[in-house]
Structures are given as structure tokens and as C-alpha cells.
């Protein structure tokens, strides 16, 4: 992977419409995007029709369409994590629509991420709960998204969000509690 400064320069040039910069950028970020996609896919059900490579390619297409003033590589990888989450949620929605369950099960946040691989309805419930969390507590929602869907460590999240590691830990604890309550109520 290229240096953080090199990636930032290429992100900005690519966003400015420089196709050569985009061609140069992809090989520098592809390995990290692929690693993260593989991490997400390990959490999905074993018979998932998406593969990590397809997830990266779809995310890359969505990232190219972003009208974003890229600040740094951390922001880019954070947005990439968000796009991958959205792709997986969209995929789960389509699958859930095809296989409507007669009844909806109650979901707890602690178990939902583990069982979401077999039951896409739970991933949808988590996504809805994260949306409600984002309305009231956007920083905490971003922390959860980066941790569970982005695969980032607490230290990496602290750097991305420009907070202390202790703040990230508090935000995760708060968000887990809030999400568990919200999911029980849903």
C-alpha cells in the first residue's frame, strides 16, 4: 500500500477528475479494500452469493461516484467501510424480500452480528437500529460502523475520528447498550 500522503494526493486528484490518478490509486488501496471485504464476508453466511472481490468492486464503483472532498486515506477507508456495509445490507434486503419469514424474531445486538450470517433479517434490523442511533448519537454510530463493519481496531478508530482510545471505548460501550435496548424494543 502506498504512503498515507501519496494516497491522499491521489484521492484529491481523482476527485478533481484526473483519470490517471484514479488508475494509480486503485492498486495502492485495493489490497486494504480486499482485506476488509474478506473480513466482512467471514461474518456473513457461508452460502453468501457475494464474494470479497465482488464486494470490493461494487464498493469501488460507489466510491468513484462519491462527490467527496477527500481529506485523507482514513476518511476514504471509513467511507469504503460504509459503502461495503450498505452493499451487504442491500443484498440482505433483497434476499429477505425473496424469503419473507412468517414472523420476525426479536434481536439483541450482542447476538445479532453473529447470527446475521444465517438470517439476513437480523442484519436489516441492525441497520435500522444503527440508523436510529445515528439520528441521536452520530459519533457513536460511526464508531460502531467502523468497528463491526470496517474491522478497524479501537486505535485505528481513534485516529480516524480524531478522538482518544478511551473515548472510542466509551462510545462502543454506550452504543452496544443503546442498540441492545433499541433492538429489544423493535
Domains, in order of start, for the chain? 1-71 (no CATH), 101-186 (1.10.10)
Please state, as a whole number, how many other Cβ atoms lie within 10 Å of the Cβ of residue 12. Answer: 16
Task: Give the pLDDT of residue 61.
Answer: 87
What is the rounded average pLDDT of the residues 74-96?
Answer: 84
The confidence band for 101, taking pLDDT boundaries of 50, 70 and 90, is: very low
CA distance 180 to 159: 26
CA distance 34 to 53: 7
- Listing DSSP states for 150-173 in one string gives T---HHHHHHHHT--HHHHHHHHH
Task: Give the pLDDT of residue 119.
Answer: 56
pLDDT digits (tens, 9 = 90+) for 138-173: 999 989 888 877 778 899 889 888 899 999 999 999
The confidence band for 3, taking pLDDT boundaries of 50, 70 and 90, is: confident
Helix ranges (H only) for the chain are 4-15, 19-42, 52-65, 73-98, 109-115, 120-136, 138-144, 154-161, 165-185
The confidence band for 40, taking pLDDT boundaries of 50, 70 and 90, is: confident
Count of alpha carbons within 13 Å of 166, Cβ hemisphere only? 0
The confidence band for 99, taking pLDDT boundaries of 50, 70 and 90, is: low
Amino acid at each position: 500500500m502506498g504512503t498515507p500522503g501519496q494516497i491522499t494526493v491521489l484521492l484529491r486528484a481523482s476527485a478533481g477528475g484526473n483519470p490517471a490518478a484514479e488508475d494509480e490509486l486503485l492498486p495502492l488501496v485495493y489490497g486494504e479494500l480486499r482485506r476488509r471485504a474478506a473480513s466482512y464476508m467471514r461474518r456473513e453466511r457461508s452460502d453468501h452469493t457475494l464474494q470479497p472481490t465482488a464486494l470490493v468492486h461494487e464498493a469501488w464503483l460507489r466510491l468513484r461516484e462519491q462527490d467527496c472532498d477527500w481529506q485523507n486515506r482514513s476518511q476514504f477507508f471509513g467511507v469504503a467501510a460504509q459503502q461495503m456495509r450498505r452493499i451487504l445490507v442491500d443484498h440482505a434486503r433483497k434476499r429477505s424480500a425473496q424469503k419473507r419469514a412468517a414472523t420476525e424474531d426479536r434481536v439483541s445486538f450482542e447476538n445479532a452480528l453473529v447470527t446475521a450470517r444465517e438470517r439476513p433479517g437480523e442484519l436489516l434490523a441492525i441497520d435500522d437500529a444503527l440508523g436510529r442511533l445515528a439520528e441521536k448519537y452520530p459519533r457513536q454510530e460511526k464508531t460502531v460502523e467502523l468497528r463491526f463493519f470496517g474491522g478497524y481496531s479501537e486505535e485505528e478508530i481513534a485516529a480516524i475520528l480524531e478522538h482518544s482510545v478511551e473515548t472510542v471505548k466509551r462510545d462502543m460501550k454506550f452504543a452496544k447498550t443503546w442498540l441492545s435496548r433499541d433492538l429489544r424494543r423493535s
